Amino acid sequence: MAFLKMKELVRRSERVKSLHVHPTEPWILLSLYSGTVSIWNYESQATEKSFKVTESPVRSAKFVPSKHWIVIGSDDGYLRIYDYGTSEKVREFKAHEDFIRCVAVHPTRPCILTASDDKSVKLWDWEKDWICCRTFEGHSHYVMHLAFSPEDNDSFASASLDGCLKIWTIDSSIPKFNIEGHSKGVNFVEYYFSNADNKLYLLSGSDDCTAKVWDYETKSCVHTLEGHNHNVTAIFAHPEFPVVITGSEDKTVRVWSKVTHSLETTLDLGLGRIWAIGYIRASKQVAFACDEGTITAKIFNSGELD
């Protein structure tokens, strides 16, 4: 059995739409509905830097540590890149004709993906002056989220409000396959590799108030996580504990066993709807982006002390 224990690391603010944890610095990048991005130091509990980038909501922002960049996607359809060391704007251009919902940075190549309400995903190469190398079309509704595969970095998954997951490779504009099974739109997709059975799985969160666990090889749903009473907006597979964490617009997070898929813990964070989940590896804490700010928590086995 695992449970969440809240820490006194709470940053109250306006609505936080996404977060991304820096791999080496004690920083969490927060994108805000107001059009601002902030870097929060979770050790000092202070804001390192803040950028007002647009009058439109910013729904996704990611660190690119190798370049000292922040890449930012917003509702005005623009992609913006800032140097987080100098605070200078590196680049700004119109990337989509509608909201940018998600930005995903390739693990090894000099490129990023953007997902949009214009129903497309685009691949951008910064070593080629930010040209659009490929457009991925096929979804019939907003594309909400993207995730690169941990087994093949050139493969990625997209989640859409058309209720479908699509699996692609960055070298082809035709999807490898589709996964369907949710009764409403899909907000989130994530991969995780299970050491227990040496298999790759997909996780999805939906407006049908459920999360699903998919066997990547067979493309079949192996379990449905039921319990939330509103849209499931974020999912996180913990790398050290055998648990999956889901966040929802019902203002709760839930912890599920990867082994039995049973519900282990439910917690109201007290900060409204949950929009994103991140992992602070150095402290083994989990961070949550919510309507009213950011909060961190730590997972423990039963009987384990902080």
* Mean pLDDT lowest among 9-13, 111-115, 214-218, 256-260: 9-13
Work out the average pLDDT over 116-144. Answer: 98
pLDDT band at 209 (very low <50, low <70, confident <90, very high): very high
Per DSSP bridges, beta strands 199-206 and 186-194 are antiparallel
pLDDT for residue 9: 60
Cβ atoms of 242 and 254 closer than 8 Å:
no
- DSSP annotation of 209 reads S
CB atoms within 10 A of CB 41: 16
pLDDT band at 302 (very low <50, low <70, confident <90, very high): very low
DSSP character string of 58-110: EEEEEEETTTTEEEEEETTSEEEEEETTT--EEEEEE--SS-EEEEEE-SSSS
Annotated domain spans of the chain? 2-301
pLDDT band at 23 (very low <50, low <70, confident <90, very high): very high
pLDDT for residue 303: 34
- pLDDT above 80 (res 5): no
Instruction: Report the C-alpha gap between 216 and 266 in whole angstroms.
Output: 27
pLDDT band at 118 (very low <50, low <70, confident <90, very high): very high
pLDDT for residue 74: 98
pLDDT band at 305 (very low <50, low <70, confident <90, very high): very low
pLDDT for residue 4: 58
Contacts of 301 (CB under 8 A, 6+ apart): 1, 2, 241
- pLDDT above 60 (res 300): yes
Work out the average pLDDT over 270-288. Answer: 91
- pLDDT above 90 (res 219): yes
Q: What does pLDDT average to over the chain?
A: 93
* Mean pLDDT lowest among 101-110, 236-245, 294-303: 294-303
Instruction: Report the C-alpha gap between 221 and 167 in whole angstroms.
Output: 15
Work out the average pLDDT over 39-58. Answer: 93
pLDDT band at 240 (very low <50, low <70, confident <90, very high): confident
> What would be the CATH architecture of the domain defined by 2-301?
7 Propeller (2.130)
- Give percent of the chain above pLDDT 90: 83
pLDDT for residue 196: 81
- Say how many CA atoms lie within 13 Å of 109 toward its Cβ: 18
